[in-house]
Amino acid sequence: MPAAMRSVIITEGQSLLDICIQELGSIEALMELADANGLAITDDLETGEQLQIPDSLLSRPEVAAYFAARRQRINTANYPAPPTAPATAGLIDWLDEDFIDNDWF
């Protein structure tokens, strides 16, 4: 009889890859995790959704235990990029007729 799967609740911004690293300790188990939950590896997850965590021969329990011991949740959310800084004047902005003093030559 197979061992019962444990589950995890998704927090805002988590992806399937985040959950795989957090709970299984290895990205190699990503396809198994997706399959166990009827998902594609690129599917967006809903906050509060419950995922089943399968037993996997590809897992790295010591890595998952590291995160669990520190109560760390992996979250690599794709938030929008921060606005770019305003452009500042560069050298090309100073290259105009007044830059070269023709009287000097």
For the chain, 105 residues long, give each residue's pLDDT as a single digit of tens. 456 689 999 998 999 999 999 999 999 999 999 999 999 999 999 999 999 999 999 999 999 999 999 999 999 886 665 566 555 555 555 555 555 666 665
Other Cβ atoms less than 10 A from the Cβ of 103: the count is: 5
Q: Which two tokens stand for residue 39?
A: 């998902």
The DSSP secondary-structure symbol of 32 reads H
| Fold held by 6-69 | Membrane-bound Lytic Murein Transglycosylase D; Chain A (3.10.350)
**Amino acid 5: pLDDT:** 80
Distance from C-alpha of 22 to C-alpha of 33, rounded to nearest angstrom: 12
Other Cβ atoms less than 10 A from the Cβ of 11: the count is: 16
The domains of the chain are located at 6-69
